[in-house]
Structure 1
Amino acid sequence: MIDGTFSDIWQAVARAEPDRLAMATPSGHRFTYGRFAREARGLAAHFSACGLRPGDRVGIVLYNRPEFLTTLFACLALGLTPVPMNFRYRSIELAALLMDSKPRALVYAASLRNLVAEATGIARGDIHLVEVTDVWTPRAHATPWAEAIAAGGALPDRAPADGEMWIYTGGTTGQPKAVRWRVVDMFRSKLFSIYDMNGLAQPASLDEAVATALQYDHAQLVNLPLAPFMHGTAMSLAINALAVGGAVLVTSSLRFDADAAVRLALQDRATQIVVAGDAVAMPFADAAERMGVTLPLVRAIVSSGMRFSTATKRRLHRLGDLTIQDIIASSEGGGFAVTVTTGVDDLPGRARLYPDAVVLDENGRPVDDRVGARGMLARSGTIPIGYFRDEEKTAAAFPVIEGVRYVMPGDWVVVEDDRHVEFLGRGSAVINSGGEKVYPDEVEEALLAHPAVRDAVVVGVPDERFGEIVAAAVVLGETDSATGDDLAAWVGGRLAAYKKPRAVVFRTGIARGVTGKIDLARLRAELMDELNERAATSP
């Protein structure tokens, strides 16, 4: 079993090839691996001088900037626990995370100063503040980033074996929970995605991992994350790229600018683009088509954990000779299965289990070799410690079955041949209508196949007769038209009758968070209000 982790490889690459490109920004700033390591050493020395010790938490409230990855580097090497936090939260929401995780330090962007000031005021913790300058007014009682990294210093030769990284999840279905990963386990769990999915042999030791990174032409993997780093997929793919000596293009913008993203991909020769399903991929495709450009150097577009429709994938495939990797994943377990398409002719594609993933039925028995069986995705081995301070939810998501500890986030699938599966949806979103289970994803996919439908989200709403009925929020194209009956008939022609939406609410848009996720509880409440109003005013 490999005995190192990300920061060990980054240090080794920095020592051997300090001039190799690690990061670049649209404004032309270039960060070599030498600079990357030097700034991480300075920040680590600053944290140590402030009294931080291994195991202490460091909150990160940054959009995609080089300082985000540098903070990760410093924390992982020292054994501090980095805790990325949602920069789009309101102050009360951010304060809740601060009170839960109790960070000793917080690295944040100056443009988010008011948010941080209000949140830290509510949380009332003794938090050392490091402010990254993206506006020019210095804040009192915070250490400027340039000062924090200026002292220099050294990093331990090897990262502590028990170092952790926390990723908050669960914000669409309840209170966010911190998933605790041992960093060494996170690295081991990603060996397939780091190496196999990039056409490389998995290393058996840290020395082999370093040798692979040094031998790999960094220009072969130039990663452009268009989802925020606080989204596990974008952060994972960025640190994976750096683990093989690649480069990361950092957008350095508080808001997603699709036109700028296309220009950056072309300007800095991106070979891998990370999106958050349709929420990012659709405007990116819009921009490329509007600009009349293709993506000749892009070899892969990657997404995970988000709705990624066939229609959007078709548009992306037409932009270049590229592969699309649509991963079924979670913060709790990483990747479980991936749908790979290499062109329009491969669509819609079929999801195939990762080598270490299994399907367990309701009794905990493996059924991934039984075609037609229904069960939940699971993994064992290198998985997280669990949720921070939530033993009940940890026990539910990380069950021990016949002496084996699994992670099971709740994704239901039907087993197909040759380790392929059909994804049905996350268990918490399943609609129980008259005793029949309806999985929103398949209804959404059917709606999106309608030529007039631009976007759609399906939820269950209460019903006296059926317990729940299928309801859909639908966005039509600007010049398109369709009625609720039209769409119900369309879905009924493709799926069982009980899966047809019994209520359709038309909207001009569907709000998604910065990670691409939808607040399903809020959307369900809004649909219920509108349907109740309809019922009250109907004859």
Structure 2
Amino acid sequence: MKGHYSDVWQAVASALPDRPAITTREATLTYREFARAAGAFATRLQDAGIRPGDAVAILMYNRPEYLVALFACFATGIAPVPINYRYRPTEVAELLQDSQAAALLFPTSLADVVTAAVAEAASMPLLIQVDDGGGPVEGALDYSEIIAGGGRLPATPPADGELRLYTGGTTGRPRAVVWGTQDILEVQLYSIYASSGLQTPQTMADVVRIAADPETPRVATLPLAPFMHGTALFTSMNTLVLGGTVIINASPRLDADEAVRLAIDKGATRVIVAGDAVALPLVEAAERAGIARLGKVDSIISSGMRFSDATKGRLHLLGDISIIDLLASTEGGPFAVSVTARPEDLPGHLRMLPGAVVLDEELREVQGTVGARGILAFRGTLPKGYFGDEVKSRATFPEIGGVRHVMPGDWVEVLEDNCVELLGRGSSVVNTGGEKVYPVEVEDALLAHPSVADAIVFGLPDARFGEALTAIVVPTEGAVVTEADLRAHVEPLLAGYKKPRRILVRPSLERSPHGKIDMARLKEDAAQELAAQAK
């Protein structure tokens, strides 16, 4: 079924106006209130001259206003552009310029970041602030006043609406992956309906009937991963298609103890995590509280992040919980999934999903050959490409045999029963806590220190974060530089997750005459040195 999320949400709001759509610890928005707020926000954007195809940047942690803005943008054909709320002003300014944002929605707790960012930006977007206790930004519109002003949603959105999701990728700078809004819904139909044992609808009347049917499982989703990541955002969007409820822990930081209480108190049935970085604190909080069962939670979903069998096993002990561990990317997929329902199912195996293939170095399909190694690709419904970057789009979304594919860069070995074993990414990108970091950017920041002559950055295995960003730095001749010096230096230059967790200072990286480094040896030496320090 082709269609738009905004059409679906408006239809559900008309049929089930009093059902809770979004709830936090403090308040609840019914579907009627959700649609009305989106209508007011959409009207204000249009009154400001923002038109279909323009962009609205959302610099915000998970809050109800995030989803309201998303609804308003979808309904008007304006492109929502989530931006990582942990970025520094310079990083935000770069993305405001890259996305050509006509407006920026942000919480007042990020007022300092926004003020500095717009001062650096080439043009001034319309600023809309949500009061969360911080100081206001001069000249910014107040979100609550916009909503109080009222307005209406268009009957149906333009056909060519977009969602632009930034990804760190493997190129050193974030790029916005452009998804057509109709394509997203088409891709997500399996996740919304088939995975729940529901018949896929053919018409809007079918969508509403399924959402209102008492036999349809009432989904209540608690996204603990941020909305700026596709899995948390898409799963929440899908929950609203089913007439379910999105439960939001409205905090810029993970409070695992509160997350456990919220899941139980609000009746969450589904929790979205980012591998061990979120799941491990969650299970530890539940164990500290002496909880034998995590309320009504029957599924936990993670994507694109290390999710260990040890953590999964502990989660399975908190109830009849299915754990869905997806191998996916912002650029497309999902490629494969591991599903476990009980501790006895571990270790889980990644089973390839329809549309996924394995390509060898000659770009021949080898997914039918056990033992073959190759790169994962996907050939189903795909994004349009990267915003404003045709060259990179052609490289990441090549046409093979007349069919467009996406190849983010994950190498696998083919196992039996259509399963694969993940070998790693062919590039040097580091995935730490669900965030992608390109080492060159961190190295550039370190090399900007006047006493640093050389630097290398890479990831080392970490029990919680999957990979811990590690740096080895060489001082200039005669200089003395300390870890504390370097941390203070990168503080204003890099977002928190881009800062090295471990910094080693050495006299040399032992580069070859050609400037190359024996990375395998360097990583092994660094791991041994850090292990010795920990004793």
State TM-score, norm by structure 1. Answer: 0.80
CA separation in 2, counterparts of 1:470 and 1:164? 34
Question: How much has 1:352 moved relative to structure 2?
Answer: 1.0
Deviates more, 1:61-70 or 1:186-195: 186-195
CA separation in 2, counterparts of 1:401 and 1:475? 38
Which of the numbers 138, 141, 151 marks the counterpart of 2:139? 141
Q: Name the residue aligned to 2:408.
A: 409
Q: How does 1:248-267 map to 2 (within 5 A)?
A: 248-267=246-265
CA contact (8 A) 1:173 1:519 kept: no
Amino acid at match of 1:304: S
CA separation in 2, counterparts of 1:207 and 1:160? 20
Amino acid at match of 1:163: G
Q: Report % sequence identity.
A: 50
Query: Aligned-pair RMSD on alpha carbons?
Result: 3.0
* Superposed CA offset, 1:71-121 (max 9, x none): 000000100000000111110111110111111111110111111111011
Q: Name the residue aligned to 1:208.
A: 206
CA contact (8 A) 2:12 2:241 kept: no
Secondary structure of 2:148 counterpart: coil
CA separation in 1, counterparts of 2:211 and 2:117? 40
Q: How does 1:320-335 map to 2 (within 5 A)?
A: 320-335=319-334
CA separation in 2, counterparts of 1:92 and 1:30? 35
CA separation in 2, counterparts of 1:241 and 1:530? 54
CA contact (8 A) 2:115 2:137 kept: no
CA contact (8 A) 1:337 1:354 kept: yes
CA contact (8 A) 1:41 1:152 kept: yes
* Superposed CA offset, 1:378-405 (max 9, x none): 2223100111122222111100011111
* Superposed CA offset, 1:115-138 (max 9, x none): 111101100313111111111654
Q: How does 1:65-84 map to 2 (within 5 A)?
A: 65-84=63-82
* Superposed CA offset, 1:475-506 (max 9, x none): 79xxxxxxxxxxxxxxxxxxxxxxxxxxxxxx
Which of the numbers 111, 117, 141 marks the counterpart of 1:113? 111
CA contact (8 A) 1:218 1:247 kept: no
Judged with a 3 Å threshold, the aligned counterparts in structure 2 of structure 1 residues 389 and 69 are, in CA distance, closer, same or farther, namely: same
Amino acid at match of 1:414: E
Question: How much has 1:150 moved relative to structure 2?
Answer: 2.3
CA separation in 2, counterparts of 1:216 and 1:189? 26
Q: Name the residue aligned to 2:11.
A: 12
CA contact (8 A) 1:90 1:115 kept: yes
Q: How does 1:345-494 map to 2 (within 5 A)?
A: 345-429=344-428, 472=460
CA separation in 2, counterparts of 1:148 and 1:206? 30
Judged with a 3 Å threshold, the aligned counterparts in structure 2 of structure 1 residues 421 and 204 are, in CA distance, closer, same or farther, namely: farther
* Superposed CA offset, 1:305-343 (max 9, x none): 001111111111111110000000100004111100001
CA separation in 1, counterparts of 2:15 and 2:461? 54
Q: Name the residue aligned to 1:178.
A: 176
Q: How does 1:153-302 map to 2 (within 5 A)?
A: 153-170=151-168, 174-215=172-213, 220-293=218-291, 294-302=293-301
CA contact (8 A) 1:296 1:321 kept: no
Deviates more, 1:212-221 or 1:299-308: 212-221
CA contact (8 A) 2:110 2:134 kept: no
Judged with a 3 Å threshold, the aligned counterparts in structure 2 of structure 1 residues 10 and 217 are, in CA distance, closer, same or farther, namely: farther
Q: How does 1:8-47 map to 2 (within 5 A)?
A: 8-27=7-26, 29-47=27-45
CA separation in 2, counterparts of 1:409 and 1:315? 31
CA contact (8 A) 2:301 2:324 kept: yes
Question: How much has 1:55 moved relative to structure 2?
Answer: 0.4
Amino acid at match of 1:14: A
Amino acid at match of 1:223: T
Which of the numbers 70, 93, 97 marks the counterpart of 1:99? 97
* Superposed CA offset, 1:186-218 (max 9, x none): 111112222222222222334323332232667
CA contact (8 A) 1:4 1:205 kept: no
Question: How much has 1:247 moved relative to structure 2?
Answer: 0.6
CA separation in 2, counterparts of 1:518 and 1:421? 30
Judged with a 3 Å threshold, the aligned counterparts in structure 2 of structure 1 residues 8 and 383 are, in CA distance, closer, same or farther, namely: same
CA contact (8 A) 2:210 2:216 kept: no
Deviates more, 1:376-385 or 1:206-215: 206-215
* Superposed CA offset, 1:269-304 (max 9, x none): 100000000100111111000001121411100000
* Superposed CA offset, 1:437-470 (max 9, x none): xxx99xx9xxxxxxxxxxxx9x9xxxxxxxx999
* Superposed CA offset, 1:159-178 (max 9, x none): 22210000000167611111
Deviates more, 1:284-293 or 1:205-214: 205-214
CA separation in 2, counterparts of 1:336 and 1:413? 11
Amino acid at match of 1:254: P
CA separation in 1, counterparts of 2:215 and 2:171? 42
CA contact (8 A) 1:3 1:206 kept: no
Secondary structure of 1:88 counterpart: coil
CA separation in 2, counterparts of 1:531 and 1:302? 43
CA separation in 1, counterparts of 2:167 and 2:458? 26
Question: How much has 1:529 moved relative to structure 2?
Answer: 4.7
Secondary structure of 2:90 counterpart: helix
CA separation in 2, counterparts of 1:529 and 1:117? 39
Secondary structure of 1:377 counterpart: strand
Deviates more, 1:380-389 or 1:315-324: 380-389
Judged with a 3 Å threshold, the aligned counterparts in structure 2 of structure 1 residues 53 and 368 are, in CA distance, closer, same or farther, namely: same
Amino acid at match of 2:356: A
